[in-house]
Homo-oligomer: A and B are copies of this chain.
């Protein structure tokens, strides 16, 4: 398969979400024109994006919603489940642990860890918060594939190092830091401050118009 750009990759989950919504509304077939109106991307963009992964649409018919949903799910790696742990059980960590969309999509949270003695032993969603000192043992014993880092900036690189060392291949990082990881490990960042500052930038630009 040819190399697909990050811009295309980031549109795939969006298509997937719209297809999920169409299915919920029992819509079985959609043209790229209708999909364009729905998503805000041009029909030709959508066709191009999907053509990276094989031809899904049929001339004069459009897309079979269910079929495309299944295929996109496979492309996104959502046809399997993932074993995950979360590190940092503060407000944000708790919210992510409780986040519904997460479990529903096959991301199973098996462990939660913190270094704060006041947090250790408490329960979130029936999971007892463990001591972060026991992270490695847990990750290895449970074949954890994804680590979710919800710690403050300081300490986040150390956690990433430790996760990578015991075989974790994916990191979903909420700490405001750019983590350095060995080849073969993927980091996906949710940098809340950067998102917020982008908003304030755009607000300012709009006000100056």
Ranked nearest first, the 9 interchain pairs of A and B with the lowest CB-CB distance are A77-B204, A95-B95, A13-B197, A188-B199, A13-B194, A77-B200, A91-B95, A91-B98, A186-B202
- Choose the segment among A99-107, A115-123, A132-140 that binds chain B (4+ C-beta atoms closer than 8 Å): A99-107
Query: Which residues of A are at the interface with B, using a C-beta cutoff of 8 A?
Result: 9-10, 12-14, 16-17, 39-40, 75-78, 82, 91-92, 94-96, 98-99, 101-102, 105, 107, 145-146, 169-170, 172, 176, 178, 184, 186, 188-204, 206-207
Say whether B172 contacts A107, CB under 8 Å: no
Q: Which residues of B contact A76 (CB under 8 A)?
A: 197, 200-201, 204
Query: Which of B91, B95, B96, B194 is within 8 Å of A14, CB to CB?
Result: B194
Say whether A17 contacts B199, CB under 8 Å: no
Say whether A194 contacts B146, CB under 8 Å: no
Residue of B nearest to A148 (CB): B196
